Structure 1
Amino acid sequence: MATSAERPARRIRYREIADDLRVRIDGGEFGDRRILPSESALSTRYEASRVTVRKALDQLRGEGLVDARQGFGWFVAGAPFHQHLGRLGTLEAQLEADGRRSERRILEFGFVRPPSRVHEVLGVDRVLRVVRVNLADGEPFARVTVWVPEALGAEVSRAQVAARSFHELLPVELGGAVQTIEAHAASAADAALLEIPESSPVLVCERVTADAGGRAVLVAEYVFPGHRSAFTVDLPHPEASIGPSGLRLVGPGR
């Protein structure tokens, strides 16, 4: 009869799965804050029950390696990118200030009739519309659509918007901007571009930028994966109203 010293160590399946996932995460297989396969897919891969897979994932979450969000499932943990609402600047400048490599890919460039919301804000019948994806350290970070009046974008080229922001390219002095942030579910198109599940949470930001005289000259829509971005507001004094910070409730029609 085998003694306890001779018996093989008992296999603890969830720990084996956690160990394998840890190696895959450390090897960069999923990237920073990338979505892991679903519990169902992991269950099939490891030939284990979903309860066992979830226990392995919970162990890794306790180690700070993974996290989960409703609508996303499990993903590799990492610090979200914090954007400051009190600053008017480009997305690229904020990413680079955060120590991240920024890149933009132009998907669409052309002169079109504006959608009703943009027509209402800019008051023109033709606009230059640019759609791009912004990447942070090589990962899709935001889908951005920008509209500017045709008269202001007439001399702007596709190559220019791939390399520089409209803040630099518009032939007018810019003033301030108003930014509105809402929670949405990712459309099929945005989910594919941002490599996230369809209908998962996204933050949709509309920024309307005015010239020095207060006339709206640029409308931009940013769509961020909800698990990769956070917005912060600096409040100047603990007793001050939040009104001056730019936060306010808005109705369906803004």
Structure 2
Amino acid sequence: MYTSIVQVRQPRYQRIADELRRRIDRGEYASGRLLPSEAELSGIFDASRVTVRRALEVLRDEGLVDSRQGFGWFVATDPVRQNLARLGTIESQLAEEGIESTRRVLDFRFTKAPARVRQVLGAETVLRVRRLNLADGEPFALVTVWCPEELGAELSRADVERSPFYELIPVPLGGAVQTIGAAAASAAEAEHLRVPVGSPVLRCERITCAADGGPVLVSEHVFPAHLTEFVVDLPHAEASIAPTGLRLVE
């Protein structure tokens, strides 16, 4: 008696899904990292975009990948929840999520203050530091900080690469005002954050004051929109269901 064994060949989309799954498991595509575009994957696997998209949808059903308008496909990740109810650093927020945080200083210089910074700080010359914050080795935020020259005069590039400004400037700190809005990634921002040009980002301006109430730092934080959420507790219900602090952007 002969037994015939028929090997069923997997559909092409399933084989592509299996290979992408292996690459994710090996860490070739890190959590939160963008995958190649559908067109690029079509070239890599010599398959139609319809086939590639079906493979990606299989992985999305498994919770391994996700997609956002303007981003494309990325390895699924839980966004970091940043609490707006207290003044904290990116490093402390990431540490609370169990994420390793590192910083890379891109620019360190004393320069003429931009009009907005001059208006807030009342300083003609400022220390401008631009840095990239990494979360588990992947870009998480592009940050620019402006500090009055007299408060930053003793600081070095190594200082700001090692520690937050909150630990470095020689004045006791009070509170801060944060303004958060939606924006599209510029070419420079996209390059550093490894997202497509024009993709959604959250842009946060923070004005930090000394204990006596005077502004001492202006900072701008740019976050890829799929990697972070801002959370605030609203313990008391009011008549309006709209969140507080809304204003129209002119």
| TM-score, length of structure 2 as denominator length | 0.94
- Unaligned stretches of 5+ residues in structure 2: none
Describe the SS at the equivalent of 1:36. coil
> How far did residue 166 of structure 1 move?
1.2
Separation in 2, partners of 1:56, 1:62: 10
1:52 and 2:51 correspond: yes
> Which residue does the alignment assign to 1:251?
249
Report the RMSD for the aligned CA atoms in angstroms: 1.9
Alignment of 1:34-45 (within 5 A): 34-45=33-44
Give the C-alpha shift of residue 240 in structure 1. 7.8
- What is the CA-CA distance between 1:213 and the residue it aligns to? 1.8
Task: Report what 1:71 is aligned to.
Answer: 70
Would the alpha carbon gap of residues 28 and 133 (structure 1) be closer, same or farther in structure 2, given more than 3 Å must change? same
Q: Which amino acid aligns with 2:121?
A: L
Preserved contact between residue 103 and residue 136 of structure 1 (Cα < 8 Å)? yes
> Aligned partner of 2:174: which letter?
G
How far off its partner does 1:239 sit? Answer: 3.7
Q: Which amino acid aligns with 2:25?
A: D
How do 1:125-140 residues align onto structure 2 when only pairs under 5 Å count?
A: 125-140=124-139
Amino acid across the alignment from 1:33? G
1:235 maps to 234
Partners of 1:239 and 1:199 lie apart in 2 by 37
Q: Following TM superposition, by how much is the alpha carbon of 1:5 offset from its aligned partner in structure 2, in angstroms?
A: 4.8
Greater Cα shift, 174-183 or 7-16: 7-16
Counterpart secondary structure, 1:34: coil
Stretches of structure 1 that go unaligned for 5 or more consecutive residues are: none
CA deviations on 1:110-148 (whole Å, 9 max, x unpaired) are 110111111111111110101111111111111110001
Deviation at 1:241, TM superposition (A): 6.8
Q: Which amino acid aligns with 1:249?
A: R
Counterpart contact for 1:235–1:242, Cα < 8 Å: no
Structure 1 counterpart of 2:40, one-letter code: A
SS state of the match for residue 44, structure 2? helix
Code of the aligned partner of 1:173: P
Structure 2 residue matching 1:251: 3-state secondary structure: coil
**Amino acid in the other structure paired with 2:214:** R
TM-score for both structures, normalised by structure 1 = 0.93
